[in-house]
Each structure stands twice: as structure tokens, then as C-alpha cells.
Structure 1
Amino acid sequence: MKRIIGAGGRAFLVAVLIALPALMLHDGSTDRTQMIALLALIAAILTFSEYVSAYPSFLEFRDAGPFNRLRFAALFATVFALTMISRGQIQPTAVSTALGNLGGQVGQAMDFPFSPVRLMVLLVPSDAPQSALSQVRTHAGLAYLMSLLTMLVFVAIVRLLNWPIRRGSFNFWVNLPLFDPTAGGDVLRRLKRDAHVNVALGFLLPFLIPAAMSVVSQLMEPVSLSDPQTLIWTMSAWAFLPAGLMMRGVALMRIADLIEEKRRRAYAQADLQIA
């Protein structure tokens, strides 16, 4: 019963996250509303089926909190903040004004040549009004700041709170269900290789995603960043896909360090017994 209640709560929160921009911005499009409701339902079902089971199927670090909780909380906070900024264009409030000012200041500070924020700003058409340019810069700056803070918080949890073994042992196969131990090669070497690849991709993606969007826009109809919901989800994905990869890389490196330390102790104990 406890597992069912927990899975239901997580499924509800995921559905709320997906529907949040549409609910707060009051989009009158019936087709879009139905599509968002369908996506929220599918995401809720997948989340419920994953957490209601005693064994994971695809979600990594399910029993190694607060890895997934931190990622979800940061993404939820980012989507909420960006939605409030967009809503403030129509119905300004003290909260939306404060978030807009913060995002504007951060966006201005991060908008320098060759920065990820500058690359996202360059996606705005040259004939777009200054308000659209400012809106993209504000959203990009705030989303990127949130992703950086999330990574710093996770690194602090790993280093200062001894994640993931502070509250008990770490079950490798439960928390990494997609990692195939029979694929060949030493597990420790593969973990370190995957960690380095994830960190490298996480660092490069904020630069590669705008470049890819620019190339795609030349081949087909470009993504319209003037639409508030498209802008919110584009900026959220652009900021948190790289952050998620870097967090996964840090987590895998931490697991590799734990395995290496355990091997060292086992080898030392074996040498003592032989002696």
C-alpha cells in the first residue's frame, strides 16, 4: 500500500508538471489542450508503473535518493518560473515581475559572445521585435542558472553527504537496471568511460543544441520561440538535458570510486590472509 501511494503521488506530480504551462497560460487551443492532457496521462502511467513495481525497469537511481527528486524539483521549479514570467506578460503580479527582473539580469550577464545564452538568443529572427529578443534572453538565462545550481547542489550532496551510501548500502543492479554487466570489459572501466562521456556531452550540449536548431530551421519550418509554451519547454529541455547528463556522469564516477575502494579493501584483506 505504501508503494502504491508513493507511485500515485509521483505520477500525479509528473502529470502536473507537463500540464502546468497550459493550465497557467490558459491557451484556448482545443487540439493543444487535448494533446497535453494525453501526454500528461501517458507520463503519469509510465511513472506509476515504474514506481509501483518492486524492481525497476528503466529508471536509474530509483533507490538512491535524492538524485531523481532533485532533478524533478529543479525542472518543476524552472518550468514554474518560466511560466510565471510568460504569464506576467498578460497578468503581471509581484512574483512574475520579480522573476522577470531576475531572469533579465541573469540573461544580460550570461549574454556574451559564444556563450550558450548568446547562441539561444541568436535563434530569434532578425526582424523580431526587441520584446521577443528580451523574452528569449530572460528565459534562457534563468533556465541555465537553475541547471547550474542543480548540478552544484548535487555535487555538494555527493561530496559532503557521502551520497549514495549515507543511509545504507547501494544496490548496483537495482539502481542501474540498464547497465549490462555481461557486455564485456571490466565494469569499473566501463563506468568511468560512461561517466566521462556523460560529462563531456553535458558540457557540449548547451552549445550543440542551438547549432542543431539553427541547421534544422534552414531545412524546414523553424521552431517558433514567440509561442510561450514552446519557449518554456524549449528552454527547459535545452538547460536540463545537459544538466541531467552531467549529474549522471558525476553519479557514475561516484559509483566507480565506491567499487574501486571496495576492491582495494578486498585485495588488502586477501593479502593479509595469505601472509
Structure 2
Amino acid sequence: MGNIEAYRHKERDQVGHRARHRIATGQFEGIETVIERFVGAVFRAFLVAVLVALPSVFLPGTLSDSLALLMILTSAAAILTFLEYNSEFPSMVEFRYAPPFNRLRFGAVFLLVMVLTIIARGKIHPTELSQGLTAIGRLLGNTIDFPYSPVRLIVLMMPVNAPKELISDVRSAAGLAYFVSLVMMFIFILYVRFLGWPARNGAFNVWINLPVFDPTRGDVLSRLYRDARVNIALGFLLPFLIPAIVKLASTLVDPISLAHSQTLIWTMTAWALVPASMIMRGIAIGRVADMIEEKRRRAYAEAEEQGLQAT
């Protein structure tokens, strides 16, 4: 009996040790996850701050009042980004746990703003890099500037008395911006079609990755498909509609303001990449709807099969 009690006591000690080890390991993994999320949030906030400040810092002629406003905008963007990515669950950013959706969008914006900033700075302080990028921009602008293209509509948006140099700059910036948007969408389509996005890295949680989507309002599938179609349609039409609307409202909006380098950079970035991001969102939501529909179909098939077996 003494041996049996000793064995049981030893076994309880081992079980308790394993339980304590699991708790300690879980706590360590939890702390590690929190630290990793904090570092990632700080890094993303830094990148967003750099993006917002990039044109103002590298382009001359920024006034002191503009610098104060820039500091406010940069700080606000960085704080919002940090708060969003430091939280465990998303509150605003969609597809946060489905890379590279947001990385592609941010990378395209950062690349385009940086390239346009280098080109604008090259007019005052020319370098081989700025001259090369200017040549690429002119090539892309002239290539995409065909009748009824978005770039042609941007050029036609300019006033008749606009300087030829300004029209050339606008054409080059529009060509670069539209090309970057096309490349961004093409890469994302490759991920969806051939790399199994968004479920290629394991299970995909719809409600975490779509934090602003309310699943209680009507049928989920029909709403997702409708949102997908609306986003794709608007994303396709906006590059054509925006220049036409600006041209019609030329009495209120003066396109000649694009002569200011920072205005040109941010206007062309928004004109090209916001619609492209909407198309990407539409494709992503449509893909999520397809996954939900496929899961429903499998569940119905299994239920029918079990019903037949029961009878």
C-alpha cells in the first residue's frame, strides 16, 4: 500500500508540474503576443507618419503654418494607426488578418507618393534618379493618354490657358499613378486566383476581418455580393467620373491649383488608388461571399446525407 500511495503522490506531482508548465507557457506566449503586436503597431504608425510627412519634408517652400498643420495631421494619423493595430480585434481596418491586402494598398500609396515627390524635387535639385523617374513618368503618361482613357480625361480637365509644362507634369503624374494602381490590382488578383487568398494561411474569420459589416441585417450572402458589385463598379467608374465632375464644377474648383507640387501628388494618388482600392475591396468581399456559399453548400449536402442515412 505504501508503494501505491507513493506512486499516486508522484503521479499527482507530475500532473501538477505539467499543468503549471502549461499555464506558464500560455502566459509567456500571451506576453510574447502582446509585445509583438505592440512593436508591429509602433512600426506601422511610424510608416504612416513618414508617408504623411514625406512630400512636405522633401519639397521646398513649406510655410511654418503648414508645418504646424503637418505635425497635427502626422500625429493624428500615427496615433490612430497605433490604436487600431495595438488592439487585439480590429475596429476600422478590414482584412487586418488577411495579408497582403492592406500591405499592398499601403505599399502602393507609399511608392507612388515617394516617386512623385522625387520627381517634384528633381525640378529644383535634379539628380539621375529624378531624371530617370521623370522619363518613366512621361513614357507612361504618353502611353496611357489615348482617347477616352482616364489620363486623357485628367488632361482635358485642365484649363485651356494652363501652361504646357503643367499639363505635361499632370499627364506624367496621372500616368504613373494609374500604372501603379493597375499593378497593385494585378498582384492582388494573382493572390486571389492562384495563391488561395484569403484562406491560404489557415482558417479565415469573416467577422474579425470585416469589423464594420453587420451580419444581422438581412441575408449575409446577398449583401456581400451586392457590396462587392457596388465597390467594383464604383472603382471602375470613378477615374472617369472625377475629371468630368471637376470640369463641370470648374467655377468652384480651379484645376490650375495642381501647379502646386504637394496638391498634385496627393490629388493624383487619391484619384488613382482610392478607386483601385475599392475594386480590390469588391474582389475581396466577393471572394469571402464565395467561401461562405461553398461552406453552406457543403453543410447542406452533409445534412441531406445524414438524413438519408437516418431513414
Q: Secondary structure at the match of 2:301?
A: helix
> 2:79 and 2:166 mapped to 1: Cα distance?
36
1:159 aligns with 2:193: yes
> 2:166 and 2:129 mapped to 1: Cα distance?
20
TM-score (norm 1): 0.97
Q: Say if 1:244 and 1:38 are closer, same or farther in 2 by CA, change over 3 A.
A: same
* Partner of residue 62, structure 1: 96
Q: Secondary structure at the match of 2:227?
A: helix
* Partner of residue 43, structure 2: 9
1:192 aligns with 2:192: no
* Partner of residue 35, structure 1: 69
Q: Secondary structure at the match of 1:23?
A: helix
Deviation at 1:222, TM superposition (A): 4.7
The residue correspondences of 1:1-275 to structure 2 (distance < 5 A) are 1-184=35-218, 186-222=219-255, 224-275=257-308
Moved more, 110-119 or 193-202: 110-119
User: What is the CA deviation profile of residues 205-242 of structure 1, one whole-angstrom value per residue up to 9, with x for unaligned ones?
Assistant: 00111122223331355560000000000000000010
> 1:164 and 1:61 mapped to 2: Cα distance?
9
> 1:241 and 1:73 mapped to 2: Cα distance?
13
Residues 140 and 235 of structure 1 are in contact (CA less than 8 Å); yes or no, is this contact kept in structure 2?
yes
Deviation at 1:189, TM superposition (A): 1.0
> 2:266 and 2:142 mapped to 1: Cα distance?
21
After the TM superposition, which segments of 4 or more aligned residues of structure 1 sit over 4 Å from their partners? 220-223
Q: Say if 1:130 and 1:221 are closer, same or farther in 2 by CA, change over 3 A.
A: closer
Q: Say if 1:40 and 1:232 are closer, same or farther in 2 by CA, change over 3 A.
A: same
Residues 216 and 222 of structure 1 are in contact (CA less than 8 Å); yes or no, is this contact kept in structure 2?
no
Q: Secondary structure at the match of 1:79?
A: helix
RMSD: 1.1
> 1:221 and 1:77 mapped to 2: Cα distance?
27
> 2:107 and 2:254 mapped to 1: Cα distance?
33
Identity %: 57
> 1:62 and 1:193 mapped to 2: Cα distance?
22
Residues 84 and 96 of structure 1 are in contact (CA less than 8 Å); yes or no, is this contact kept in structure 2?
yes
How many residues align structurally?
274
Q: Which amino acid aligns with 1:260?
A: E
Q: Say if 1:223 and 1:175 are closer, same or farther in 2 by CA, change over 3 A.
A: farther
Q: Which amino acid aligns with 2:172?
A: T
> 1:221 and 1:241 mapped to 2: Cα distance?
21
> 1:47 and 1:140 mapped to 2: Cα distance?
28
> 2:270 and 2:51 mapped to 1: Cα distance?
13
What are the ranges of 5 or more consecutive residues in structure 2 without an aligned counterpart?
A: 1-34
> 2:112 and 2:255 mapped to 1: Cα distance?
24
> 1:221 and 1:156 mapped to 2: Cα distance?
39
Deviation at 1:27, TM superposition (A): 2.7
User: What is the CA deviation profile of residues 7-44 of structure 1, one whole-angstrom value per residue up to 9, with x for unaligned ones?
Assistant: 01100100100100111113331111221221111111
Deviation at 1:131, TM superposition (A): 0.9
TM-score (norm 2): 0.86
> 1:2 and 1:26 mapped to 2: Cα distance?
38
